[in-house]
Amino acid sequence: MTTTATTIRPAIHRQRLLDRFLEYVKIETTADPTATTYPSSLGQLELGKLLVRHLRSLGLIDAFQDASGLVWGTIPATDGGGSATVALLAHLDTSPESPGGNVRPRVIPSYAGGDIELGNDQVIRRCDTPELEGLRGKTLITTDGTTLLGGDDKAGVAILVELAAHLMEHPYLPHGEIRLLFTCDEEVGRGTEKIDLNQVNAFVAYTLDGGGAGQLDVETFSADSARVTFRGTNIHPSIAKGRMVNAVRAASDFVDRLPRATLAPESTEGRDPFLHPYAIEGTVASASVQLLLRSFDTAQLVDLAAIIRQHAAATAADFPGIETSIAIQAQYRNLRDGLRHLPEAIELAKQGFANLGRRCEETIIRGGTDGSQLTEKGLPTPNLSSGQYNIHSLKEFACLDEMVEAVEHLVELLSLWSDKGRS
């Protein structure tokens, strides 16, 4: 029997979901892009150990943290078997772009509208965050303005743990085998580095790493990274005339040459590509610039790399004695390319929203998820809503009501996959 919006479903435990989320965000799990270890920060291991305890207490007897820090668990099938195994993922780490330690979350039980004063001269302004208008009366969780909240992606983590609790408490709800996987270092592009797809052993997967309610992410950027290094000649400034070649000046000149009115994240939107210099470091002797290359058209990454090479060469020509080197590394590819092989992954997610009487908007991400890389490796993995807003910002916040809705949608979606397997 196909599930409909009129099917009686047990209520999701809101307070438990909130309590777990608040516990998770207080554990610092900031990813470190300079680390050579995996995971790149000890806090990810700490949170992973806590999740194992939580999952085992719910009855997931196989829950464990592997040698790489990934947390695994299985919710047994209730439909008699024969339906597809579905994997559900969220990541433990938070972005290194803003402070992530000593998080002090603030709960707003019934948002009344208007600007939200966080303190520390930080304000979530309604004019800058138009989504606030649709969140009146809902429970929001913010920061105190000094750190990230960590909703990206601890909202997804809390959603999956509550899903496990809900399904284990209500074994009559139909679903096939569900594989839970909590990854590390997604924010620095290494989220799937240690994943063995044979161990996942799933037909389809979904990441819980999306924005507002009803969004179904079916496209991501294709992404490369670049490091441009300038090598100069250092000598004491008192005798530097005609002898010093300053790599810091060369690196600064290179950044200044990059497009700003176009091909920059601060001047683009929608399907526009960009080149983003996000870090610069060095000395007179050697300086480097790190850049992100992003486009929904994978082939266009070659053109973006050519722009980098062109401007690096022009800088070298204007700074006699400067030597340059450019290293470009592939990161992930557009989610769309792989999802074409399993359209049901999108169709059933949309049907789940429809059965609940909720809107669904197919959306694109000007970024990437673990699902981008998993899909490229052969496991189709769209991205689902988890109630995150203003990600990577001190003004980040999450919506508890939309986290609850995410759990409800997963229950419906898993039932649909079960129906498909038994039809």
Residue 8: other Cβ atoms inside 10 A: 4
Cβ atoms of 344 and 240 within 8 Å: the answer is no
Distance CA 152, CA 278 (A): 20
The set of residues, in sequence order, having a beta carbon less than 8 Å from that of 186 and lying 6+ positions away, is 31, 91, 93, 153, 209, 369, 370
Q: Among 79, 153, 185, 186, which one carries the catalytic annotation?
A: 186
Distance CA 146, CA 268 (A): 28
| Pure H helices in 133-222 | 151-169, 197-200
E strands along 304-376, which residues? 323-332, 361-365
Q: What is the largest CA-CA distance in the chain?
A: 85
Question: Looking at the chain, how many residues does it have?
Answer: 423
- Asked if 186 is an active-site residue, the reply is yes
Cβ atoms of 31 and 188 within 8 Å: the answer is yes
Q: Among 28, 79, 93, 219, which one carries the catalytic annotation?
A: 93
The set of residues, in sequence order, having a beta carbon less than 8 Å from that of 64 and lying 6+ positions away, is 52, 71, 72, 73
Mutual orientation of helices 151-169 and 42-57 as an angle, nearest 10°? 20
Distance CA 144, CA 34 (A): 27
DSSP 28-70: --B--TT--SSSSSHHHHHHHHHHHHHHHHTT-TT-EE-TTS-
Distance CA 260, CA 279 (A): 16
For 107, phi then psi, to 5°, come to -100, 125
The residues that are catalytic are 93, 186
